[in-house]
Amino acid sequence: MAERYVLISLILVVFSLSKVATSTSTTPAVFIFGDSTADVGTNNFINETKAKADFPHNGVDFPGSRPTGRFSNGYNSADFVSKLMGFKRSPPPYLALITQQQRLHRRIVQAVNFYGVNFASGGSGLLNETGNFTYVRVIPMAEQIQHFTKIREMIIDARGQESTDTFLSRSLFFLSVGSNDIFEYFGGNGTASDQSFITFLKITYELHLRMLYSLGARKFGIVSVPLIGCCPSQRIHNITEGGCLEDMNLYSHMFFLSIEDMLGQLSLELTDIKYSLGNANEMVKDFMDNPLALNFTEISSACCGNGTNPCSPNATLCPNRNQHLFWDLYHPTQAAAQLAALTLYGGSRRFVTPINFMQLAAATF
Ligand SMILES: *[C@@H]1O[C@H](CO)[C@@H](O)[C@H](O)[C@H]1NC(C)=O
Ligand SMILES: *[C@@H]1O[C@H](CO)[C@@H](O)[C@H](O)[C@H]1NC(C)=O
Ligand SMILES: *[C@@H]1O[C@H](CO)[C@@H](O)[C@H](O)[C@H]1NC(C)=O
Ligand SMILES: *[C@@H]1O[C@H](CO)[C@@H](O)[C@H](O)[C@H]1NC(C)=O
Ligand SMILES: *[C@@H]1O[C@H](CO)[C@@H](O)[C@H](O)[C@H]1NC(C)=O
Ligand SMILES: *[C@@H]1O[C@H](CO)[C@@H](O)[C@H](O)[C@H]1NC(C)=O
Ligand SMILES: *[C@@H]1O[C@H](CO)[C@@H](O)[C@H](O)[C@H]1NC(C)=O
Ligand SMILES: *[C@@H]1O[C@H](CO)[C@@H](O)[C@H](O)[C@H]1NC(C)=O
């Protein structure tokens, strides 16, 4: 089982490299929404936010070994998903692009070097309030979508309505969000039997998707909340038994089931959408059950900060970063993010349902 999985991953690596080298993508652009798992520098532009990663050791394995704002030693899931869609890495953050309006406009008009926008903001969630207290200022999903409407208007101005509709309907809308909502609620005294909060998140998620649909999105690639109870930040609370926080993981599980159900219903009503839902729980479980087969030797403690301290310039840094599952208290390493993206792209229905990202990209209407 584990060996087969590794094999599939390796085949996919080779496949994706050849794809990048030879073909033009059928996906013209990727639009990325969510939290720190997908942020590629949005929060660098928010002076007052406390959710930042624009300092070492973040980025130590990024080209040039520089911090970019990614909460990672290198690339993150937004980058790897973009790569698998045929691009170099994630498109730049919206807040970076709008500092150079004319250049952005030119790129959109000429359809050169414009393959999407990344709106994701570290610390944010599905709810407007999430992250507002803990990190002072983040960009919640509703505001990320407002930013998308501005980009859409620019595309319509440049290319006209019909061409824009086609362009957007073929583009991938990648969403990775929900963990921070659950972190904040749980910290604020949720109990694991509290289905009502998860239902509230589901309804909010649906509203966001309907809004994106009304703006022309048709292909949704969604990642559920991973086993956040297994993050080093949560393991601290179960040191005596050396395990995860099981209540937190139960929330992740409930969230997945809720979102899966919601997407199933939504696609019955909006019959011209296609979607893939990544089951991040199953992915993390697989990493933890078969660590060695996947070349992970350390699945519980963080690489930067050793799992007890936040990652900072003076924190301890592990040498074998490719063998750690966790980069810091909350985030996966580049190696884990890559494996996750490969699984989203080519994985079986245990990991991504009802179709995987490769099938989603290939789908025509
Ligand atoms: C953020 O800080 C920079 C540099 O200190 C400053 O130029 C910029 O105006 C600030 N932006 C906002 C929105 O306050
Ligand atoms: C965020 O916090 C600020 C300051 O406390 C408050 O004024 C604002 O209404 C809050 N926003 C949301 C969406 O909760
Ligand atoms: C969330 O914030 C947006 C503005 O960014 C606002 O339009 C929307 O009504 C808010 N949603 C809720 C549920 O308060
Ligand atoms: C949270 O729950 C604990 C018991 O589970 C209780 O002692 C505490 O007062 C609660 N805190 C708040 C803010 O409600
Ligand atoms: C702590 O970890 C152990 C071992 O994995 C597990 O059985 C236990 O339920 C965990 N405790 C909590 C509070 O999650
Ligand atoms: C990291 O933490 C482990 C225990 O969790 C400890 O054995 C080890 O010495 C620590 N490493 C560093 C470099 O601090
Ligand atoms: C790193 O330095 C900061 C102050 O700059 C300090 O608060 C923190 O404890 C230090 N962390 C470690 C791991 O030494
Ligand atoms: C496993 O990780 C080690 C250490 O980072 C690396 O040298 C090796 O190339 C990796 N092996 C595979 C198959 O990825």
pLDDT of residue 187: 74
pLDDT of residue 192: 55
Helical segments of 270-327, H only: 280-289
Do 321 and 73 contact (CB within 8 A), yes or no? yes
The question of whether 147 is a catalytic residue gets the answer no
Which amino acid belongs to residue 49?
Answer: T
pLDDT of residue 190: 57
Nearest to 144 by CA among 218, 43, 223: 43
Q: How many Å apart are CA 68 and CA 56, to the nearest integer?
A: 9
Residue 132 CB–ligand 2 contact under 6 Å? yes
Residue 322 CB–ligand 8 contact under 6 Å? yes
Could you identify the atom of ligand 2 that is nearest to the CA of residue 129? Answer: 14
Q: How many Å apart are CA 170 and CA 176, to the nearest integer?
A: 19
Q: Which of 36, 121, 171, 179 is catalytic?
A: 36
The whole-model pTM stands at: 0.90
Nearest to 23 by CA among 250, 322, 361: 361
The pairing of strands 30-34 and 116-118 is parallel
Q: Which of 126, 128, 132 to mutate to test the pocket of ligand 2 (most atoms within 8 A of CB)?
A: 132
pLDDT of residue 306: 86
Distance of CA 199 to the CA centre of its chain: 21
Nearest CA to ligand 3 atom 10: 128
* Cα 183 to averaged position of ligand 4 atoms, centre (Å): 15
Could you identify the atom of ligand 3 that is nearest to the CA of residue 143? Answer: 5
pLDDT of residue 84: 97
* Cα 99 to averaged position of ligand 1 atoms, centre (Å): 12
Within 6 Å (CB) of ligand 5, which residues are found? 238, 241, 243, 245-246
* Cα 74 to averaged position of ligand 8 atoms, centre (Å): 16
Domain ranges of the chain: 27-227+249-284+335-362
Residue numbers in the chain where pLDDT is lower than 70: 1-25, 188-193
pLDDT of residue 24: 46
The question of whether 331 is a catalytic residue gets the answer yes
Give the pLDDT confidence of 100-145 residue by residue, as tens digits: 988 899 899 888 889 999 999 999 999 999 999 999 999 999 999 9
Determine if the peptide bond prior to 57 is cis (ω within 30°): yes
The question of whether 36 is a catalytic residue gets the answer yes
Q: How many Å apart are CA 226 and CA 237, to the nearest integer?
A: 18
SS3 of residue 25 by DSSP: coil
| Domain formed by 27-227+249-284+335-362, architecture | 3-Layer(aba) Sandwich (3.40)
Residue 134 CB–ligand 2 contact under 6 Å? no
